[in-house]
Amino acid sequence: MIANKLNLVYQVYMEKKVVAAFDFDGTISKRDTFIPFALFIVGPSRWLVGLFSLIPSTVKFMFRKMSRQKLKEKTMTVFLQGISYKELRREGHEFAHEVIPKLLKIKALEQLFWHQEQGHTVILVSASPEVYLTPWAEKMGINHVCASKLALDDDGNVTGKLDGLNCRGKEKVRRLQELLGDKKEYVLYAYGDSPGDREMLSLADHAFYRKI
C-alpha cells in the first residue's frame, strides 16, 4: 500500500514540467555585465568620466541614503540616456555575441546545457537589462528572459529610468510566477549567487547558491 502511494507521488512529480531558472551576473557570468556593456557603448573616455561622476551616488547607496533601484537608474542615465532604443538593440546584439562569451563560466554553461538536454524549460532571471540578455539568450536557445526593462520616451529613446521594478529579490519571484503560473504545476531548479536571488531560491524545489 505504502509502496503504491509512493509510486503514485513519484509519477505525479515526474509528470510535472521542469523549469530551470538561472540568475546571470555572477552565476552564469564571472562578473557584473552592465559596466562592460557601458564601456562597449560609450568608449573608454566617457566610461571613465561616467564612473567618476557616479561616486557620490555610490557612497549614498553604501550608507543607505539611496535605493538600489535609484542607483541603477542613475547609472543608466549617465551611460544610456538619450540613446535610440533601436540603436541600443543593435549594440546589445553585438555585445551579446562579441563580449558576453568572454565573461562566462564553463561549469555554469555545462549545467545550463544539461537542463536543455533533459528537455527542461530554461529561464534567465536577471536584474541586468534585457537589451543585451535577450539576444544572448536567443543565441543559446534559452526559452524565456525575465530581466530589467529600460523605459523609453515618446521618441523611442532611453530615459535612464526602468520600466517597472529592478528584476531582483521579490521581483524575480513575481516575474517567474507571472510567466509560469501556479507553482504546483512545475518543478523548479534555481541558481543564484547573491542576496538578490534568495527569494527565487526559496521558491525552488532544488536551490543552488554559488554551486556552479
Instruction: Please answer whether residues 111 and 212 qualify as being in contact, where contact means their C-beta atoms are separated by less than 8 angstroms.
Output: yes
Task: Report pLDDT digits (tens) over 98-130.
Answer: 999 999 999 999 999 999 999 999 999 999 999
Superfamily grouping for domain 2-209: HAD superfamily/HAD-like (3.40.50.1000)
Instruction: Please answer whether residues 167 and 125 qualify as being in contact, where contact means their C-beta atoms are separated by less than 8 angstroms.
Output: yes
Pairing of strands 206-209, 186-192: parallel
Start-to-end C-alpha separation, the chain: 40
The candidate with the shortest Cα–Cα distance to 25, out of 38, 12, 13, 34, is: 34
How high does pLDDT run on average in the chain?
Answer: 94
Output the pTM of the full model. 0.91
List beta partners, residue 207.
Answer: 190
Instruction: Please answer whether residues 110 and 28 qualify as being in contact, where contact means their C-beta atoms are separated by less than 8 angstroms.
Output: no
The confidence score (pLDDT) of residue 15 equals 76
178: CB partners within 8 A, 6+ apart: none
Percent of the chain whose pLDDT exceeds 70 = 93
- Give the domain ranges of the chain: 2-209
Cα atoms in the 13 Å half-sphere on the side-chain side of 113: 7
Task: Report pLDDT digits (tens) over 27-52.
Answer: 999 999 999 999 999 999 999 999 99
d(CA 61, CA 67): 6
Q: Predicted confidence band at 141 (pLDDT cuts at 50, 70, 90)?
A: very high
Q: Predicted confidence band at 14 (pLDDT cuts at 50, 70, 90)?
A: low
Task: Report pLDDT digits (tens) over 68-87.
Answer: 999 999 999 999 999 999 99
The confidence score (pLDDT) of residue 41 equals 98
